[in-house]
Amino acid sequence: MRQKAAEYLKANKNTTGAERGNSEQQGFGILAEMVVRNKLGMPEINPKDHPLGFDILLPSGIKVDVKCRGGGLPFKEVYENEDGIAREAKHNLFARQLHDKRLDTDIYLMTHLETPTKRDLPGTTRQKKWILYICGWVSKERAFREGVYLPRGSITEQGRSWFAYRGQEVEFYNRNLNGLENVEDLLTIESADVKKDQTHQGDLNLTSVDTIRIAYDLIGRGVLSKKHLLFIQKEISLDKNVKPILHANQYFHLLKWLREKKELAKGEFQEAEKMLKEEPFEGI
């Protein structure tokens, strides 16, 4: 199937239009669609005259657009971080696809493809680390309504690092998807299920850590107060101290500057030391 996906990509690679996936991403998407169609007992490749707005037409008439992102790690609902606070998994959509009414899919099927280090399709027969995770589905309308739009250059956390988005992205978190016991459960989705999801109110499309960071920032700007922070911490079950995006040494640099200017009391500096840890250079 990987060979068939590679051949299809070579013949049909999209090189026009804005905010499209690169060649690798397009290949992952093709492979994911083929796997799903195979599991549903459908031809693995759509006919040439198939509409561009969706990938799969279910027997119920529901239109499905299969979305896939690849990575070297298996999919997890939460990812551990060095600070001991888990980060919830998210999915990404190109903003233009959500806003383009001509792309008339009813639902998005979100998937994750675990790949080997050398992940150019079709790969080799010895490679076993090609695993597709079916994460769940969401109606296009709810993804449009609840997803968080992030313009180019917006930063996002991935594992233990940060990177800037090169495209216009919409983040939608895995916990807000409708789960599936198996791929074949897609065949049970009816129009009533989609309509129900369109009005469903999901949870935050933020990591718990970023939720607290935003609350900290808004308290500092005088928008929120301590009571809001306490409410948020209770709602998301997170009462641990959340580290800032900038390094603690930068915070202490400012605190020491304020102390030198006689604008920071000893007790205030000590309070900061309870929350943040300055890190000295200890050699290479």
Is residue 125 predicted with pLDDT exceeding 80?
A: no
Residue 9 has pLDDT above 90, yes or no: no
Q: What is the mean pLDDT of residues 179-205?
A: 96
* Same structural domain, 197 and 221: no
Query: 248: which 2 tokens?
Result: 């603690």
Residue 5: the pLDDT is: 66
Is 161 in the same domain as 261? no
Given a cut of 60, whether residue 175 has pLDDT beyond it is yes
Regarding whether 95 and 230 lie in a shared domain, the answer is no
Give the bridge partners for 57, in sequence order.
Answer: 63
Range of the structural domain that residue 174 is part of: 2-203
Same structural domain, 22 and 131: yes
Region 35-56: what's the mean pLDDT? 88
Of the residues 158, 179, 203, which one is the last residue of a structural domain?
203
Whether 189 and 248 map to the same domain: the answer is no
Bridge partners for 56 per DSSP: 64
User: Poorest-confidence range of 25-39, 168-182, 222-236?
Assistant: 25-39
Residues 43 and 178 in one domain: yes
Spatial CB neighbours of 149, under 8 Å, sequence gap ≥ 6: 95, 168, 169, 170
Question: For the chain, what is the mean pLDDT?
Answer: 89
Within-domain flag for 280: no
203, 228, 248 — which closes off a domain? 203
What token pair was written down for 63?
């239109």
Under the banding of pLDDT at 50, 70 and 90, the label for residue 82 is confident
What does pTM read for this prediction?
A: 0.87
* Cross-strand partners of 79: 87
Q: Is 139 exposed, middle or buried (0-12, 13-18, 19+ CB in 10 A)?
A: buried
Residues 6+ apart with CB under 8 A from 192: none
Q: Lowest mean pLDDT: which of 19-23, 205-209, 217-221?
A: 19-23
pLDDT band at 143 (very low <50, low <70, confident <90, very high): very high
- Assess whether 171 and 217 both reside in one domain: no
Q: Domain ends where: 203, 237, 262?
A: 203
**Short-list 89, 133, 91, 87, CA closest to 112:** 133
Using alpha carbons, select from 237, 232, 234, 236 the residue that is nearest to residue 216: 232
Q: Token pair of 22, please?
A: 């690169």
Together in a domain, 106 and 229: no
Is residue 236 predicted with pLDDT exceeding 90?
A: yes
Q: 22-25: which pairs have CB atoms within 8 A and are 24 or more residues apart?
A: 24/70, 24/119, 24/120, 25/68, 25/69, 25/70
Query: Do 263 and 186 reside in the same domain of the chain?
Result: no
Extract the tokens encoding 226. Answer: 């301590």
- Domain presence at residue 159: yes
How many structural domains compose the chain? 2
Structural domain contains residue 257: yes
Pairing of strands 56-57, 63-71: antiparallel
Residue 281 counted as domain residue: no
Identify whether 121 is part of a domain: yes
For residue 117, give both structure tokens.
């280090």
Q: Are 203 and 173 in contact (CB under 8 A)?
A: yes
Whether residue 185 is contained in a domain is answered as yes
In-domain check, residue 118: yes
Alpha carbon distance 184, 97 (integer Å) = 26
Model confidence band, residue 12 (pLDDT cutoffs 50, 70, 90): confident
